[in-house]
Chains A and B, each alone.
Chain A
Amino acid sequence: MLEQTNEDLSQLGMDSITFIHIVVALEEAFNIEMPDELLLVTEMNTVEKITNIISSAIINAELIDVQE
């Protein structure tokens, strides 16, 4: 059970394949694309980091929609 949002998910069993499945699921759920430079386990290994990246990606996607 996750105690804190900054717990290292790779210490809790998230390996490289699980990471990929998580990213794909999140991208589909939120209809976003994670930036290339952040597609690393070390950049997305806590709930806090993932939440921040999703938030930024959603905001960026909305900004693009507004501009278009």
Chain B
Amino acid sequence: MENIKVNISRYRYIECCELINSISEHNYAVIKGEPLSCLAYNSFNKRIASDIDILIDRNNLRFVCDKLQDLGYIQKISQRIDRILSLSNSHQTIPFKKKFKLFYNEIDINFDIFWGEYSGKRVGMDEFLSDTIEMDIYGVKVKTLPPLKAMIQLILHHYKDMNSLFLLATRKSIKYDMFKDIYYLLKNNLESISLDKLYSMSTKYEIMPYVYYVLHHTGLLFDDDNLSEYISAFKTPEGEKLLNCYGLNDSERREWRYDFKTRLETADLYDLIKDDLTPKDTEKIAVNKKVFLGE
């Protein structure tokens, strides 16, 4: 079974090679998936990944999407409204898919490390992608984020997953493996992701509360002195206010009725939030379901 998973991942990357070469003139990074597996666990195939995520600057979106279409990848967009929704309300496009003999390859183009509803200072992706490192993944040379920026991207990704009404309503978006990834990415890269460096970058990007939020929850599952030191350093009143809440902006934010243990262990997070949803929330979830899940 392990060999099958490795081979599928290998095929995905080999098939992606042409796309990678065609976009290499622009800043990009392959994120999550195998690059994260390598950085966090010093080995490929240590994480479940059914797609390949590529982070680019929003200004290069059309270029990359055109390349994907030239290579036979298809995006299920039936109306202009679908594209507008994905660009304004999300951090990534509707997935591109291509059928090969034995599997589907799915490419998710990410164009932001923040969520669509984020109203704070955004980070320019060209700058964020300016110091990528090269990684050889099954013989395919790709660019990926260095450990410190991989941590920043992962933290914001997990914050989004833990707080998005749409994701909470439609999938198990609070999982043990999320925090395991954070823990081992930190543990195995303490020099690159030193407290000073993480603190400095978090201050620069104005994301301290989100870093505290994710590290705090990681600390509830992993008892580690180094991690505890980080959590203490990032603790702020603003971050503490977010701890027991969900929702990605001020107008959506509300308190959890259930503790973290319950959220982590429940099979269906929708059951935990359904009594809190307003008609507007329900409409938003339905629109996102239609565009991103085709329902």
Could you tell me which A residues sit within 8 Å of B by CB distance?
A: 10, 15-17, 19-20, 23-24, 27, 33-34, 36-37, 39-42
Taken together as a complex, chains A and B put the C-alpha atoms of A40 and B89 apart, in Å, by 8
B194 within 8 A of A: no
Q: Which 8 pairs from chain A and chain B are nearest by CB?
A: A39-B87, A37-B58, A39-B88, A36-B61, A37-B59, A16-B89, A20-B84, A23-B84
Chain A residues positioned under 8 Å from B84 (CB to CB): 20, 23-24, 34, 39
Chain A residues positioned under 8 Å from B88 (CB to CB): 16, 19-20, 23, 39-41
A-B contact pairs, 15 of them (CB 8 A): A10-B119, A15-B280, A16-B117, A16-B284, A17-B280, A20-B85, A20-B88, A20-B89, A33-B80, A36-B62, A36-B87, A37-B58, A39-B87, A41-B88, A41-B117
B116 within 8 A of A: yes
Q: Are B80 and A24 in contact (CB under 8 A)?
A: yes
- Count how many chain B residues have C-beta atoms less than 8 Å from C-beta atoms of the other chain: 20
Could you tell me which B residues sit within 8 Å of A by CB distance?
A: 58-59, 61-62, 80-81, 84-85, 87-89, 116-117, 119, 122, 251, 280, 283-284, 287
Q: Is the interface of B mostly helix, strand, loop or mixed?
A: helix
Taken together as a complex, chains A and B put the C-alpha atoms of A36 and B61 apart, in Å, by 7
Supposing A24-B80, A36-B87 touch, asked if A17 and B287 sit within 8 A by C-beta, the answer is yes
Q: Are B287 and A27 in contact (CB under 8 A)?
A: no
Taken together as a complex, chains A and B put the C-alpha atoms of A39 and B251 apart, in Å, by 20
- Since A20-B81, A39-B84 are in contact, a sample of 5 more A-B pairs with Cβ atoms closer than 8 Å, ordered by chain A residue number, is A16-B117, A17-B284, A37-B58, A40-B87, A42-B122
Chain B residues positioned under 8 Å from A15 (CB to CB): 251, 280, 284
Chain B residues positioned under 8 Å from A40 (CB to CB): 87-88, 116
Chain B residues positioned under 8 Å from A10 (CB to CB): 119
CB distance from B4 to the nearest CB of A (A): 38
CB distance from A38 to the nearest CB of B (A): 9
Closest to A19 in B: B88
Taken together as a complex, chains A and B put the C-alpha atoms of A19 and B87 apart, in Å, by 12
Chain B residues positioned under 8 Å from A41 (CB to CB): 88, 116-117, 119
Taken together as a complex, chains A and B put the C-alpha atoms of A41 and B88 apart, in Å, by 7
Closest to B121 in A: A42
Closest to A42 in B: B119
Closest to B291 in A: A20
Taken together as a complex, chains A and B put the C-alpha atoms of A27 and B117 apart, in Å, by 21
CB distance from B162 to the nearest CB of A (A): 19
Chain A residues positioned under 8 Å from B81 (CB to CB): 20, 24
Chain B residues positioned under 8 Å from A16 (CB to CB): 88-89, 116-117, 284
Residue among B89, B122, B283, B284 with the highest chain A CB neighbour number at 10 A:
B89
Closest to B58 in A: A37
Q: Are B62 and A17 in contact (CB under 8 A)?
A: no
Closest to B65 in A: A36
Q: Are A27 and B80 in contact (CB under 8 A)?
A: yes
CB distance from A16 to the nearest CB of B (A): 5
Q: Are A17 and B283 in contact (CB under 8 A)?
A: yes
